[in-house]
Amino acid sequence: MNEEKEVEEQPKPIVLEKLEEHHADALLAQDETRGTVVVVVRKEQVYAVLEYLKTDSELAYTFLVDVTAVDNSRMESELMQFDYARFMVVYQLYSYQGQCRLRVKVPVHENDLSIPSVTALWKGANWLERETYDMFGINFEGHPDLRRILMPDDFEGHPLQKDYPLRGRGERESFNFDKQNA
Amino acid sequence: MGLDFVGQGVGETDGNIITTTIDKVVNWGRKNSLWPMPFGTACCAIEMMATLASKFDLSRFGSEAIRFSPRQSDLLIVSGRISIKMMPVLKRIYDQMPDPKWVISMGACASCGGVFDTYTLIQGVDQFIPVDVYIPGCPPRPEDLIDAVLQVQQKITSGASPKGVETVV
Ligand code: SF4
């Protein structure tokens, strides 16, 4: 118990120290919000960083809580910070061992909407990545089965992109009745 | 007794014979044994469950035999949001129910989309299946659902056809 307290009270969380030591070139930014450490990581190195976070015996972020994304196209302040990358893919991790959370964010540019899949690290990433693909159009490279998961298969577009009209493009009237029944 | 009702307006003879029309007897039976097919997709379904539980006890009105097979049901209760992916399923279930069948659209979402005026939500299931009784509310109270069932019963008693059927045989 004491040890954990010390970790919390340290000016720099141990995960940041270790990341700076092993993956300094991957780190774009670091922050802390409401007790959660946030790191922004380069896309090229995200797989290596996540693998390190999961397998390092001291950190052991073994639980992938969530994968999602944020469309920052209307958040000028966020856009400027990361070279006008429109999307931010977000991984939420939890370490049972250290009982702490970590948020890993990865800027993704609109002209290259791809990012390595982490299904090889966490099987549970499968549906989470499918959802992120469905809603934001991010392509997870190496994903075994990247299909839509929430929207109908023949749906066009990615509705959580900010430029998708809230009331849709007429799909409420023109959705396909038969295909989904097959 | 219910049978007095059957003979309503029709002469009653001595002994145990009641004369009436076959329609009235059949409708009397239908009215008092509506078997609901629950289509609960959201919060309204919680109120529907409460309606069936002991406190409100829908069985007092003959509708406690919830069937999860549309082929055994004659009252479809749509309680909750219906998305464009769910609507084909709902339509198919409606189609599978034997005639005559009635539909209650429970709550704002099923009736008009409610607060969810978004790309994926059907703005009223009556665009695709005929609805007999709408219940306003978000969510409606169990009493409202009971009232809707009673309205369906009234409709049956009056001999009116369900919304989706031309004539009841
Ligand atoms: S009408 Fe209200 S309670 Fe009913 S499904 Fe919609 S949001 Fe939920």
User: Is B85 within 8 Å of A165 when comparing Cβ atoms?
Assistant: no
Q: Each residue of A117-171: pLDDT tens digit?
A: 999 999 999 999 999 999 999 999 999 999 999 998 888 889 999 999 999 888 8
The whole-number pLDDT of residue A156 equals 87
Query: Would residue B127 count as lying in a domain?
Result: yes
Domains and their CATH numbers in chain A = 2-167 (3.30.460.80)
| Average confidence (pLDDT) over A104-108 | 95
| Average confidence (pLDDT) over A19-23 | 89
Q: What is the count of structural domains for chain B?
A: 1
pLDDT band at B14 (very low <50, low <70, confident <90, very high): low
Query: Would residue B31 count as lying in a domain?
Result: no
Q: What is the ipTM of this complex?
A: 0.76
d(CA B169, CA B166): 10
Query: Would residue B90 count as lying in a domain?
Result: yes
Query: Would residue B40 count as lying in a domain?
Result: yes
d(CA A92, CA B147): 47
Query: Would residue B18 count as lying in a domain?
Result: no
| CATH number of the domain bearing residue B119 | 3.40.50.12280
d(CA A56, CA A14): 12
Q: Is the predicted pLDDT of residue B74 greater than 50, yes or no?
A: yes
Query: Would residue B169 count as lying in a domain?
Result: no
Q: What is the percent of chain A with per-residue pLDDT over 70, rounded to a whole number?
A: 91
How far from B150 is each of A109, A117, B31, B132, CA to CA, in Å?
A: 58, 55, 9, 12
| Average confidence (pLDDT) over B70-88 | 92
Nearest CA among B30, B47, B32, B35 for reference residue B110: B47
Contact list, B84 vs chain A (CB under 8 Å) = 152, 171-172, 175
Task: Give chain A's end-to-end CA distance (angstroms, integer).
Answer: 56
Range of the structural domain that residue B116 is part of: 36-157
Q: Is the predicted pLDDT of residue A82 greater than 70, yes or no?
A: yes
pLDDT band at A33 (very low <50, low <70, confident <90, very high): confident
Query: What string of DSSP letters covers A113-158?
Result: -EEE--TTT-TTHHHHHHHHHHHH--EEET-TT---SSS-TT--S-
Query: Would residue B167 count as lying in a domain?
Result: no
Crossing angle of helices B44-52/B142-157, nearest 10°? 70
Contact list, A134 vs chain B (CB under 8 Å) = none
Q: Is the predicted pLDDT of residue B15 greater than 70, yes or no?
A: no
Query: Would residue B6 count as lying in a domain?
Result: no
Of A167, A176, A181, the CB nearest to B92: A181
Which stretches of chain A sit within 8 Å of chain B by CB? 150-152, 159, 164-169, 171-172, 175-178, 180-181
pLDDT band at B97 (very low <50, low <70, confident <90, very high): very high
Q: How many residues does chain B have?
A: 169
Q: Between B79 and A78, name the one with better pLDDT.
A: B79
What element of type H or E holds A51? Answer: helix A46-55
The whole-number pLDDT of residue B7 equals 47
B121 CB near a chain A CB, below 8 Å?
yes
The whole-number pLDDT of residue A61 equals 93
Q: Is the predicted pLDDT of residue A5 greater than 70, yes or no?
A: no
Q: Is the predicted pLDDT of residue B105 greater than 90, yes or no?
A: yes
Cα B110 to ligand 1 centre (Å): 8
